[in-house]
């Protein structure tokens, strides 16, 4: 979500080929959500979503990347470079978009004219996940060729290749860029950038589907059960866990409001929920949308580290609405 003083926007992609936009008003006493827009530009299910301050990029099994201009509230056009499903998308600031696909390509796009600046043969198989370093100079990718690759985005060349011997599904830099994590099945491997060594491993009870850094050391983990867990990647301890949905949690994301963090979760049960996390309490948002979700990105994620989170002991509703 891009966070404004009085409201934020929530974007979600769906199996129904549509990206939905909701405006969430964060009042002191009550939170409300209203439908803001829909973007139906694909002919197959949405497989990836990314957002910048102005644009929404959606990738699909129809092999296209569709761009929506939120400022003008119009469809901006399509990017047609990949051959196969678009598996991952990520903006770097407002200047560049990176995409990865089933064809093994990592593409770098300029948001000024939407020219494909670089097309890199990143993996022999599908690119399953990518992550751009906070500096914008490096990117990480993992693929079905069972490798983790570090890319120098200045010259478009591979800087490091690591054989991880298994198919990783997620790779992500920490907010400060000094660590990165790789998700393989039910485990999260934590690496140190300076030494490129594995420093710790977190084991989740079920296969992991989504992660989100809440601070530089606290990671939200969701997977093939109803529970979301907040873990310290340095100590491998579970700081907090709670049942978020009736079925598996498909995706997690977050944004900040004042002095607390809002965790957003999406599930196959058809709901998106918001959970308000503070220093000593964790409060919950009840369902905000009923649609089958395939991805849940943010408009602009604040990477400023939040205060150390303590184990939440209470849950209070702050928002409850359901779309028809």
DSSP string, 227-279: EEEEEETTT--EEEEEE--SS-EEEEEEEEETTEEEEEEEETTSEEEEEEE-S
pLDDT at 260: 77
| Residue 287 to residue 59: CA distance in whole angstroms | 25
Rounded-to-integer distance, Cα 139 and Cα 131, Å: 6
The model carries a pTM of 0.83
Q: What angle do CA 321, 322, 324 make, to 5 degrees?
A: 145
The pLDDT score that the predictor gives to residue 6 is 30
Report the C-alpha gap between 122 and 103 in whole angstroms.
Answer: 9
pLDDT, tens digit only, all 324 positions of the chain? 222 223 477 888 888 898 888 888 877 777 777 888 888 999 999 999 999 989 999 999 999 999 999 889 889 999 999 999 999 999 999 999 999 999 999 999 999 999 999 999 999 999 999 999 999 999 999 999 999 999 999 988 999 999 999 999 999 999 999 999 999 999 999 999 998 899 999 999 999 999 999 999 999 999 999 999 999 999 999 988 999 999 999 999 988 877 778 888 999 888 888 888 863 554 343 333 333 334 444 433 322 222 222 223 223 333 433 333
CB-count exposure of residue 88 (10 Å: 0-12, 13-18, 19+): buried
Kindly state the DSSP code that residue 145 receives in the 8-state scheme: T
Instruction: Report in angstroms the alpha-carbon separations of 129 from 94, 229, 317.
Output: 20, 21, 33
User: For residue 320, what pLDDT is reported?
Assistant: 34
Q: What is the DSSP string of 21-42?
A: EEEEEE-SS-EEEEEEEEE---
Question: How high is the pLDDT of residue 121?
Answer: 96
């Amino acid at each position: 979500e891009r966070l404004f003083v009085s409201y934020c926007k929530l974007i979600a992609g769906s199996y129904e080929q549509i990206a939905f936009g909701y405006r969430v008003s964060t009042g002191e006493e009550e939170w409300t959500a209203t439908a803001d827009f829909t973007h139906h530009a694909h002919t197959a299910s949405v497989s990836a979503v990314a957002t910048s301050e102005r644009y929404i990029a959606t990738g699909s099994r129809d092999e296209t990347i569709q761009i929506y201009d939120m400022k003008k509230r119009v469809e901006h056009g399509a990017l047609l470079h990949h051959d196969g499903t678009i598996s991952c998308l990520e903006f770097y600031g407002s200047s560049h978009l990176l995409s990865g696909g089933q064809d093994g390509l990592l593409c770098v796009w300029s948001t000024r004219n939407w020219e494909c600046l670089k097309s890199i043969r990143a993996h022999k198989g599908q690119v399953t996940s990518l992550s751009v370093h906070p500096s914008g100079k490096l990117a990480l990718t993992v693929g079905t060729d069972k490798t983790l690759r570090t890319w120098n985005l200045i010259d478009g060349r591979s800087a490091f290749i690591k054989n991880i011997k298994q198919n990783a599904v997620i790779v992500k830099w920490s907010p400060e860029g000094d660590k990165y994590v790789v998700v393989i099945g039910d485990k999260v491997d934590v690496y140190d950038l300076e030494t490129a060594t594995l420093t710790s491993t977190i084991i989740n009870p079920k296969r992991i589907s989504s992660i989100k850094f809440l601070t530089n050391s606290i990671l939200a983990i969701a997977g093939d059960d109803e529970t979301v867990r907040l873990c310290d990647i340095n100590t491998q301890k579970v700081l907090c866990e709670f049942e978020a949905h009736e079925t598996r949690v498909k995706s997690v994301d977050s944004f900040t409001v004042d002095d607390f963090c809002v965790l957003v979760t999406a599930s196959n049960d058809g709901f998106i929920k918001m959970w308000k996390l503070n220093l000593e309490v964790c409060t919950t948002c009840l369902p905000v949308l009923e649609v089958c979700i395939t991805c849940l990105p943010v408009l602009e994620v604040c990477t400023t580290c939040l205060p150390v989170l303590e184990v939440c002991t209470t849950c209070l509703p702050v928002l409850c609405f359901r779309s028809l």
